[in-house]
């Protein structure tokens, strides 16, 4: 196994960082679109990007924070909820981004 691939997969930090930066850029762009150009898709896009960002950070943080000891302390139900909640966030966030992009496309078509 080459050392670079091992680094990329094992720590996962490089790609996770790329994803989080990209989502941040989407959120920034969406806020800009809705504030400056008054595109209604922009607000939805911003909400979706925020949800995705929250879900991503949750997943990344849970990987680092949740050890077996902490999960045993929290109990079965709560740890299940904590582990499954980001997936709801990620799904809703993706839907928000796609819906927002569609709305922005409609807005662009109406402007032209």
Partner 1 sequence: MTFPPDVLPLASISAMRPVFLIIMGVFLLLTAWRITRGTTGWSPRLLMAGAMMLATGYSVIIPLYNAGILIAIPPSGFVNGDAATAMAWECLKLVTLNGGWLVFGMGLAIHAGVFETEKSVAPIQVPHSSSHEPIH
Number of other CB atoms surrounding residue 49 within 10 Å: 24
| SS3 label, residue 11 | coil
By C-alpha distance, which of 79, 54, 55 is closest to 66? Answer: 79
Our finding on whether 87 is near partner 1 (CB under 8 A) is yes
Our finding on whether 21 is near partner 1 (CB under 8 A) is yes
Among 7, 11, 15, 78, binds partner 1 (CB under 8 A): 15
Distance in Å, CB of 87 to partner 1, minimum: 7
Cα(46)–Cα(49) distance, integer angstroms:
5
For residue 108, give Cα distances in angstroms to 37, 41, 105. 10, 10, 5
Among 11, 32, 75, 78, binds partner 1 (CB under 8 A): 32
**Binding string, residues 39-68; x marks residues near partner 1 by CB under 8 A:** ---x--x------x----------------
Distance in Å, CB of 75 to partner 1, minimum: 21
Our finding on whether 94 is near partner 1 (CB under 8 A) is yes
């Amino acid at each position: 196994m080459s050392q670079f691939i091992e680094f990329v997969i094992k720590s996962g930090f490089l790609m996770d960082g790329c994803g989080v930066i990209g989502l941040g850029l989407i959120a920034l762009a969406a806020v800009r679109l809705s504030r400056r150009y008054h595109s209604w898709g922009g607000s939805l896009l911003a909400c979706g990007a925020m949800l995705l960002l929250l879900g991503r950070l949750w997943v990344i943080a849970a990987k680092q924070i949740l050890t077996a000891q902490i999960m045993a302390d929290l109990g079965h139900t709560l740890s299940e909820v904590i582990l499954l909640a980001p997936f709801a966030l990620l799904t809703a966030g993706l839907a928000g981004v796609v819906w927002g992009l569609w709305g922005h496309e409609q807005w662009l078509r109406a402007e032209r």
